[in-house]
Amino acid sequence: MDGVQARRLRAARRLLPGLSERLASGRGDAWWSSKAQAGDETGRTLAWLPKAAVEDTWLAMPEESTTPGSVELVRRTSEAANRRDLDAVVSSFAEDAVFDGRAAGTFFEGRPAIRRFLEDWFGAYEELEVELEEVSDLGNGVVFAVVIQDGRPVGGAGHLRQREGWVFLWVRGLIARLSIYDIDEARTAAERLAESRG
């Protein structure tokens, strides 16, 4: 099975909860036939794959988590920032989160304070792009990222470009702490944090 087929199978699996139980109990044939004959979305989704391949693969594959990993959460937060979707960015922080940018003279505690800072930050730029140059999951909820921010300040003709190291601590799918340093310092801090939480 190639990568495209594997992705389609995973997508179909999420669309069809309980199929592996039906197949294992022997009720899969009737279910499969009814879906294929009905021509509904389920049948169309799986039509490209022979029934035996779906049954064998489904029964052999462990249940996948539908919870995104820390790296994916960082990417989603970055994408929200690039859309200037402040609500989505802020909602990625825990209520009692800490934003520690002391290297730049900023320190904020709690979601409302972080929101006010981000409103001011986004408001200072007519254009702002956040690029993830490197993102590494170091384990135990710690993610290290090299982030490039490229923006055009309001009323300015030039661009501001800064390259920094960001250390995320994720707890239960939310940012508990985001610390910003120069890149080498951030990498060291992230490695220490991941080790201390292990």
pLDDT tens per residue across span 17-55: 443 343 344 444 443 344 444 444 444 444 444 444 444
pLDDT of residue 103: 67
> Across all residues in the chain, what is the average pLDDT?
77
User: What's the gap between Cα 154 and its chain centre?
Assistant: 30
| Interatomic CA distance for residues 69 and 138, integer angstroms | 12
Residues of the domain holding 75: 70-197
Of 187, 197, 182, 162, which is closest to residue 101 (Cα–Cα)? 182
| Interatomic CA distance for residues 12 and 172, integer angstroms | 26
| Interatomic CA distance for residues 180 and 106, integer angstroms | 10
Q: Which of 8-22, 83-97, 104-118 has the lowest mean pLDDT?
A: 8-22
75/53 same-domain check: no
Instruction: Identify which has the larger pLDDT, 102 or 165.
Output: 165
148/183 same-domain check: yes
CATH number at residue 133: 3.10.450.50
Total number of domains in the chain: 2
- The reply to whether 65 falls in a domain is no
Global pTM reads: 0.66
For the chain, give the percent of residues with pLDDT over 70: 65
CB atoms within 10 A of CB 1: 10
pLDDT of residue 105: 81
134/167 same-domain check: yes
15/103 same-domain check: no
183/113 same-domain check: yes
